[in-house]
Structure 1
Amino acid sequence: MEKIKANITGKELLELGYPQGKVMGVALEVAAQHFGGCGIEETYSVLKSVLLKPDNFVHDEKLSAIAHELLKPKDEVLPLRDTPDLYKVYGAEGIEQGAVNQIEMAMRLPIAKAGALMPDAHQGYGLPIGGVLATENAVIPYGVGVDIGCRMCMTIYDIPESILSERKEDLKQMLIRNTKFGRATFSKPKDHEVLENSLFREIKLIEGLKDKAAAQIGSSGGGNHFVEFGITEIEDPDNEFKLPVGRYLALLSHSGSRGFGGAIAQYYTKLAMSKCKLPHEARHLSWLDLDTEDGQEYWLAMNLAGDYASACHHQIHERMAVGLRATPVAMVENHHNFAWKEKDLQGNEIIVHRKGATPAGKGVLGIIPGSMTAPGYIVRGKGEESSINSASHGAGRAMSRTKAKNSLDKQAVAQHIRTAGVEVIGSGIDEAPMAYKDIKQVMESQKDLVDVVGSFQPKIVRMCGDEKFQEVD
């Protein structure tokens, strides 16, 4: 038989029945190294024989590499439900299709029990921002989000709103001196009891992150995170703070667990994806079973990151209270990137992921901010089961950061902010007010989910960066 150089391709290996993956590369390499001078039919025959009975070739000098690769245990891809279970949407007219596609993918998971889209929803990774998902005995790291424990915190002072004009420069300097954003940290960070948590000794990953956590404590992230002075108006005479109806000075902050929480999220997301094999399009929804050591470890780490995020906010507010030489008369705060153990109507335990959603169980207080020029709201949850006891976490983006940067006029944005009577220190065009949805429409879409206790109007806003937003033009 005439000997010719075999020209085996990946396509031809597929036709022989070889599975896609590393084994194809190994087979091509072996064929080129040992069978390049053989007839093509002979090469096909040898490769087919190894494929059909790899056990017979595990000790073959030339073919053992292919045999070992074929005999490796195959990762089983978990099937999704053919169609998504039913879920509730609030404010559907303002929600982009990408967010809808993501919640529908989540509702095809075999662990999914219930789902909902809040009116501020937009596309993210895994769950959409503004997505709520209840699961059975499983936690999805990307369902919680990268910024674990991202939260709102407000302190209210019995100080007349006139301070905002009378001591405007003092308040601005107070914000600049006592807040750090992005990569900036305090030269002498404060200590906090959260850093003494035993998990910093018991979990190797957490132990390795302690120095980062200690260095960044009391600081805020970049992007849409902020610390701002403004006017809170208490509207409900039966408010939980027992404050008279009226207007008060308030401080509002928005941030999460910094690099500490981000590292936890990335590590356990990769771990979940390696152990919970889902179809490629659903890979960011990989979960950890709470009956496993990995699932329990993530749950502990997630809760520690939430406690750390709360500690960061409390240090910010403590620094401001010292600067104001005043004691707050009320504080309200809530996570909106987290997972909770709750009960459904039948009394069964469910794991509720709120990725960019505010807890709104019956009587639960929370904060829903607007944009840098639009009001935010102190709300009391109504405990609506169809929303899985949730509400929006803000106005929600109307356009992506890229679109905002490419389409918005800096001078027009600066004029809009000046007209609103707001001063912004830091930030960028991607955080412009018009990049966000109308918070009043969002609140109208969720009037069945929350009652409004009071409102908050930003006046001096501090975000990442030291320049005044008004000076960009």
Structure 2
Amino acid sequence: MKEKITGHDLIALGFPQGKWMKNAIKHINKNNLEGEALDKFLEQFIQPDPIQLHPKPVDFAINIKAENKLEEENIKTVINSMQTLMKTPTLVSGALMPDACPAGPDGTIPVGGVAVAKNAIHPGMHSADICCSVMLTDFGKADPKAILDAAHANTHFGPGGRDKDAQFKFPAELLKAFENNSFLNDMHMISIAKSHLGTQGDGNHFLFVGKSKKTGHTMLVTHHGSRGPGARLYDKGMKIAERFRKDLSPDTKKQNAWIPFETEEGQDYWEALQIIRNWTKTNHEVLHNAVAETLNIAIKDRYWNEHNFVFKDGDLFYHAKGATPLDKKFMPDITGPRLIPLNMSEPVLIVEGATTANNLGFAPHGAGRNMSRTQHRRSKSGTTMQIFKEETRGLDIRFFSNEIDISELPSAYKNANSVRQQMEEFGLGIVIDEVMPYGCIMAGDWQANAPWRKKREKDKHRKK
């Protein structure tokens, strides 16, 4: 009588132990497989050799130069990180924009970086703030103060979502899309998607009002990403990518793990990204529409673009971490030019441009930083109010939390004129109009009055 195959036999043949073994052994013994038939059946479980890193970094375009010592250090760190990144096996090209700055440990795609992969989606290269984007609505000759006041009454900054009685109606088609996608169809995800609709978060996200330099029209510009739903999708994507990394390319850095596009997971993740993109666009629209309804005024024009996303062209996936798409092929719903904000005291640039070998179809997404938020706070001397007044003179600048955030004032960012000059020098978009600043709203330092901080202060006083 023929002996039964066991797990030890398969391990002795060089197969890795795993969940697959139980069903494989059952099939082998049930069908009395041996010899050539056994070999053929086991072929499907042979582990391919690990995919090796590129022996040297894939070439990438450097569209940035230093204007001072601080920028020299920033650029050195960014280029070193990009060189490590470009050894990732899936990557075929890349680029750095003038607003580039570090976004994590060595080998992490910088803000202002573009990395092009073949048949692979890298969640770590679009990061948790999926589809961070800007939308502009032209309100014609409307009073900018009235627009800013109405926007202030309708928007929501800071952590969390809207109370149930203040939520916007969630589109039925969008809900159906969430429910039909394996990454998005869970009750908590859908609950957050509903409560976060019409919210802008914190950090560098803003609501900006200004006037077109060309037409004099009042324009509203919002900047935010996909909030809670995007962050949850990112977490799920990173876990799936890590599973593939362990099997396919253990030497690849964890932050650069990928999901092969041709797999079921890859197809579902790509679809989920498009749904989150749609949610984020809707997130902008409900706020802009609410302003129009509050003031009962007509919308003259509207357009938008993301600058933190993955764009597909054939079998190539362009991961833009803080880079604005110039090429129309990247935006299926393109309705106008692209938007590049700089800082609260500078105009929002309205740009167009052609794809070149060095820009890969992208432009900067803003002014970028030369130092971290913490470093910037330490570098400022004087009272918060004094610094605020000096840097925002003549503008209507509001913080939703009523606490000034020094790390979002103009001095926290790179010199806007330098970024514009480098855009021109490297062919990264042509400025066709500017939205001159009237005022803006940001989250501000909402943690200053956070419940946990108040409790800590209360406990301190109690102990004295």
**TM-score, normalising length from structure 1?**
0.74
Cα deviation code 1:29-49 (max 9, x no counterpart) = xxxxxxxxxxxxxxxxxxxxx
Equivalence for 1:197: 176
CA distance in 2 between counterparts of 1:216 and 1:354 reads 24
Say which of 179, 182, 190 aligns to 2:155: 179
Q: Which whole-Å CA distance do the structure 2 matches of 1:428 and 1:373 have between them?
A: 15
Partner of residue 380, structure 1: 352
> How high is the TM-score relative to the length of structure 2?
0.75
What is the RMSD of the two structures over their aligned residues, measured on CA atoms? 2.5
Between the two proteins, what is the percent identity of the paired residues? 28
Q: Does 1:441 align with 2:414?
A: no
Alignment-derived partner of residue 368 in structure 2: 396
Moved more, 119-128 or 129-138: 119-128
- SS of the residue aligned with 2:438? strand
For residues 347-426 of structure 1, the aligned pairs below 5 Å read: 349-361=315-327, 365-409=337-381, 410-426=384-400
C-alpha contact (below 8 Å) 2:88/2:252 kept by paired residues: no
Instruction: Report the Cα offset of residue 457 of structure 1.
Output: 2.3
Q: Deviations over 1:113-158 (max 9, x none)?
A: 1100010011114311111011111110011121111100011121
**Aligned-pair distance for 1:256?**
0.7
Q: Contact (CA 8 Å) 2:347, 2:435: kept in 1 or not?
A: yes
Match of 2:309 in 1: 338
Which residue does the alignment assign to 2:203?
223
Give the aligned residue type for 1:428.
Answer: D
Cα pair 2:245 2:252 within 8 Å, conserved: no
Residue 258 of structure 1 aligns with an amino acid whose one-letter code is R
Asked if the contact 1:78/1:276 (under 8 Å) is kept, the reply is no
User: Which of the residues 51, 54, 62 maps onto 1:89?
Assistant: 62
Amino acid at match of 1:211: S
Deviations 1:236-280 (A, max 9, x none): xxxxxxxxxx21111010001110000100111122122213567
**What amino acid sits opposite 1:446 in the alignment?**
M
Cα separation, partners in 2 of 1:295 and 1:204, compared to 1, 3 Å: closer
Among candidates 110, 113, 116, match of residue 128 of structure 1: 110
State the Cα distance separating 1:198 from its structure 2 match: 3.0
Query: Aligned with 1:96: secondary structure?
Result: helix
Contact 2:395/2:437 (CA < 8 Å) preserved in 1? no
Residue 234 of structure 2 aligns to which amino acid in structure 1?
Answer: A
Look up the match of 1:267: 236
Deviations 1:187-239 (A, max 9, x none): 321123253233424426433311110111111111111112112223xxxxx
**Which residue of structure 2 aligns with residue 139 of structure 1?**
121
Provide the C-alpha distance between the structure 1 equivalents of 2:376 and 2:370, rounded to a whole number of angstroms: 9
SS in 2 for 1:198: helix
Residue range with higher mean Cα deviation, 110-119 or 407-416: 407-416
Kept after mapping to 2: 8 A contact 1:153/1:334: yes
| Per-residue CA distance 1:60-99 (angstroms, 9 max, x = gap) | xxxxxxxxxxxxx999764211211111011232453232
The aligned residue for residue 52 of structure 2 is: 79
**1:213 aligned residue:** 193
Aligned residues: 376
SS of 1:294's equivalent in the other structure is: helix
User: How far is 1:397 from its partner?
Assistant: 1.3
Q: d(CA) in 2 for partners of 1:418 and 1:434? A: 10
Partner of 2:35: none
Tell me which of 280, 283, 287 is aligned to 2:254. 283
Kept in 2, the 8 Å contact 1:372–1:433? The answer is yes
Q: Is the 8 A contact 1:195 1:214 kept in 2?
A: no
Structure 2, unmatched stretches of 5+, are: 1-10, 13-45, 329-333, 449-464
Distance in 1 (alpha carbons) for counterparts of 2:225 and 2:287? 12
CA contact (8 A) 2:395 2:439 kept: no
Which of 319, 331, 335 lines up with 2:290 in the alignment? 319
- Alignment partner, residue 29 of structure 2: none
* Equivalent residue, structure 1, for 2:279: 308
Rounded Cα–Cα distance in structure 1 between residues aligned with 2:343 and 2:48:
45
Aligned equivalents of 1:78, 1:400: Cα separation in 2: 35
